[in-house]
Amino acid sequence: MPYTKYMKTLKDKKMKITQQRLEILRYLDENRTHPTLEQLYEFIRTKFPAISKMTVYNVISSLIDNGIISSMRFVNSTELRVDYDKSSHFHFLCGKCGKIYDIESGFDLLDHVKRNGHKFDEYTVNIYGTCKNCLKNK
């Protein structure tokens, strides 16, 4: 039963269990590539041809609102990228090949900044540079 895990995830948040949500959750869980919604849509369509792009937007929006997945944007593009992995880690975008790498943080950044009375909930760290592979093939 590959979907029971995701059914529980949705149920725990009192969200309705729909085929579209299950399929998208499964894809994100099994493909940790930080896809854009367009990429997500293109893939999901191969398994679920009738899905609407709007559904992808709606599903992702509700998953984010319920704290099930996280999201980020890089400076080089307006597109939202999503990530099934909510654990504390950074993202490294290679400016040459465009690949995104997960970078282990090893510490909680919020432990190192003064709050000044503000309430901090979450954070994203985006690192820009050139990846190992692109350095080699230069």
Contact residues: its own copies, CB under 8 A: 71-75, 78-80, 90, 92, 94-95, 101, 103-107, 109-110, 112-114, 116-132, 135
Q: Are residues 41 and 29 in contact, defined by beta-carbon separation less than 8 angstroms?
A: no
Least CB distance to its own copies at residue 137 (A): 13
Least CB distance to its own copies at residue 3 (A): 28
Q: Which of residues 81-100 bind DNA (CB under 7 A)?
A: none
* Binding partner of 1, given DNA, its own copies, none, CB within 5-8 angstroms per partner class: none
With binding defined as CB under 7 A, does residue 80 bind DNA? yes
How far apart CA 135 and CA 138 sit, in angstroms, is 5
Least CB distance to its own copies at residue 46 (A): 27
Distance of CA 68 to the CA centre of its chain: 10
- Closer residue to DNA in complex, CB, 17/127: 17
Backbone phi, then psi, for 19, in 5-degree steps?
Answer: -60, -40
Least CB distance to DNA at residue 54 (A): 3
Q: Are residues 17 and 7 in contact, defined by beta-carbon separation less than 8 angstroms?
A: yes
Name which of 93, 125, 127 is nearest 112 in CA terms: 125
Name which of 10, 31, 138 is nearest 83 in CA terms: 31
Which residues of the chain form contacts with DNA (CB under 7 A)?
A: 15-21, 36-38, 50-55, 57-59, 61-62, 77-80
